[in-house]
Structure 1
Amino acid sequence: MLLVTGATGPVGREVAALLAAAGPVRILARNPGRVTVRGPGVEVVAGEYADRGSLDRALKGVSGVFLVTNSPAEPDDERVAGAARAAGVGRLVKLSMMAVEEPGADDFITRRQRGNEQAIRESGVPWTFVRARTFMSNTLSWAPGIRSAGVVRALYGDSPVACVDPRDVAAVAVAALTGTGHEGRAYPVSGPEAITARDRTARLSEVLGRPLRYEELPLEQAREALFAKYPAPVAQAFVESAERQRAGAKAAVVPTVRELTGSPARTFRTWAADHADAFAADPPASG
């Protein structure tokens, strides 16, 4: 039995679906009602990382874990790793980020992820890290502006990023969970090309068959929006991450998807075509 966490997120959902297609899988979810992966071999367990009792129940009889943690303040990786060690789990595959291995990345979120990886290394549980680049699915945040006005407003529209389809990240994670020879390995995962926000806007325009306009978002306006939405250290981390991207730090393409799965990484155009409905124009107001 394999355990999947984060199954309501873009990567965990795909990991759970891939595993469920091949055999039984258990899902740990804070809100089981939000889990969309269902089937005769899927067991959904209610629980959260801070509740050791629910962790122990979820880990009982489990041979491997796919771990997604998002809180920058809670020691969730340490909690899960400790419970996994006690349960005799033989493999823990953690979703991490490529910035962890980049010396110039020292923002709050990256430092936390480095610390989380170190906690897992020290836990004694055999581990694999899947270090993903920016998800293509982050582009869904543009959907309201595209639907209503055909406009994309984003920061640093000419900065390249080798963004990756969450489905490809999931495929790498499943290969690490179910294959051999992955213990103690850290896999960087990118898409097949470095692409800018202007490029993505153009690809979406082609896929949707209608004109879209890109408008550069001023830095101060972007900062205000981020600080209004997130705690200050997290918002500042996003700003610093954007600056690193503008400097070219996120443009590197790596062959991990093909090497571990045998298939090429999906292009942004493929992702856009598969998610075109999310960007469909709003119907005109009646009246």
Structure 2
Amino acid sequence: MTGATGAVGRHVARMLPADAEVRLLVRDVAKARRAGLRGEPVPGDYQDRPGLDRALRGADAVLVVTANPLRPADDENILAAARAGGVRRAVKLSWLGVADPAEDGLIARWNRDAEARLRASGLDWTVLRMRTPMSNTLAWAPSIRAEGVVRALGGSARSACVDPRDVAAVAVRALTAPGHAGRTYALTGPAPISVREQVRELSGVLRRPIGFEELTADQALARWRERLPEPLAQALLEAAVRRAGGASARTEGDVEAVTGRAPEAFASWAADHEPDFR
């Protein structure tokens, strides 16, 4: 597993069958152990071929999770080590925006290229195209705790955001069960929901008022620039503009088709994560 301590990967590690032998490629072994993840932490980085080889040698399947559009070689490095290590199956987390032909920003191009590399890898592949994970709202926790307010761009934009646990459930099936090779799944929540509606749901869970303050595009861009390189900050702004135009509102049925149950709503996710915001 790559991305084992991330929003989706941590749930995959916990959901895998009890008899599965799991290796976790991680930069910080201590962090992985503190997270209580089942599996053997193997130190390494996507640019560290010896670490990738140690993690992938003799494995049957690999979960491919990369996160930096400015490092497109990460996917190829993982796939090259997988081929060398005898891996047969690769399951790749991607972004549902790539299904929109009009979406041609940095993030979409990066994900499309990564998908193309996977399909050309010679491995049995499955692509999981996910909508924005509900866990992204955890970024609001500090301001909710300190000030009782959420500040964001595009408060009325609606997105069919998805519970990372639902994505993980699909990933586990693709990693461990037959019938998923050559498939591309579109993973969303059950209904589109706006930022303002998410804030209201969190207010209800916490049983106290939470305010919402709309950021301007310039304010949001300035915040992203504080922690991200300029190309990524601009890419997030472009994605927010498209989201405001309804690009992320469509729901898909693949979570239920693969798992046999409907995807979880944001209200359920928020209730389960109440301690993170309190």
Name the TM-score, length of structure 1 as normaliser.
0.93
Aligned to 2:248: 250
Give the equivalent residue in structure 2 for 1:8. 5
1:230 and 1:44 mapped to 2: Cα distance?
Answer: 28
Q: Once the two structures are superposed, what CA deviation does each residue of 1:131-160 show, in whole Å capped at 9, x if it has no partner?
A: 110010110111111111211111111110
Counterpart secondary structure, 2:193: coil
CA deviation after TM superposition for structure 1 residue 20, in Å: 5.7
SS in 2 for 1:53: helix
> Within 2, Cα distance between the matches of 1:16 and 1:173?
10
CA distance in 1, matches of 2:18, 2:196: 37
Kindly indicate whether the alpha-carbon contact (under 8 Å) linking 1:162 and 1:193 is maintained by their aligned counterparts in 2: yes
Which SS does the other structure have where 1:89 is aligned? coil
Q: CA deviation at 1:266?
A: 0.8
- In the comparison of the two structures, how many residue pairs are matched? 275
Indicate which of 157, 160, 167 corresponds to 2:158. 160
Q: CA RMSD in A?
A: 1.2
CA distance in 2, matches of 1:185, 1:61: 24
2:74 pairs, out of 73, 76, 79, with 76
Q: How does 1:1-287 map to 2 (within 5 A)?
A: 4-19=1-16, 21-35=18-32, 36-39=35-38, 42-74=39-71, 75-280=73-278
Shift of 1:220: 1.2
**Among the aligned pairs, what percent are the same residue?**
49
Going from structure 1 to structure 2, the CA distance change for 1:167 and 1:192 (only over 3 Å counts) comes to same
Alpha-carbon separation, structure 1, partners of 2:37 and 2:198? 33
Quote the offset at 1:37 in angstroms.
3.4
Q: Cα–Cα, structure 1 residues 241 and 261, in superposed 2: closer, same or farther, change >3 Å?
A: same
- Conserved? CA contact 2:69–2:107, under 8 Å: yes
User: 1:38 and 1:268 mapped to 2: Cα distance?
Assistant: 24
| 2:15 maps to amino acid | L
What secondary structure is seen at the aligned counterpart in 2 of 1:129?
A: strand
Q: Deviations for 1:142-183, whole angstroms, at most 9, x for unmatched residues?
A: 111111121111111111000011111111111111111111
CA distance, structure 2, for counterparts of residue 53 and residue 29 of structure 1: 13
| Cα distance in 2, alignment partners of residues 274 and 109 from structure 1 | 30
The residue identity in structure 1 corresponding to 2:269 is W
**1: CA distance, partners of 2:78 / 2:59:** 13
Shift of residue 248, structure 1, vs aligned partner: 0.3
Structure 2 segments unaligned to the other structure (5+ residues):
none
Amino acid in structure 2 at the alignment position of 1:255: G
Aligned to 1:285: none
Rounded to whole Å, the distance in 1 between the matches of 2:247 and 2:107 is 16
- Measure, in 2, the Cα distance between the counterparts of 1:71 and 1:207: 33
Partner of 1:283: none
How far 1:38 moved relative to its partner? 3.9
For 1:247 and 1:110, the matched residues in 2 are separated by: 17
1:175-197 deviation line (CA, Å, top 9, x unaligned): 11111111111111001110001
Deviation at 1:73, TM superposition (A): 2.4
> Do 2:160 and 2:188's aligned partners in 1 also have CA atoms closer than 8 Å?
yes
Q: Is the 8 A contact 1:133 1:250 kept in 2?
A: yes
What's the offset of the Cα at 1:21?
Answer: 3.8
Query: Is this contact kept in 1: 2:170–2:258, CA < 8 A?
Result: yes
TM-score (norm 2): 0.96
1:22 Cα deviation (Å)? 4.8
Gaps of 5+ in 1: 281-287
Secondary structure class of the residue paired with 1:73: coil
Instruction: Say whether the 8 Å CA contact 1:16–1:37 is kept in structure 2.
Output: no
Find the residue that maps to 2:92 and give its secondary structure: strand
What secondary structure sits across from 2:204 in the alignment?
Answer: helix
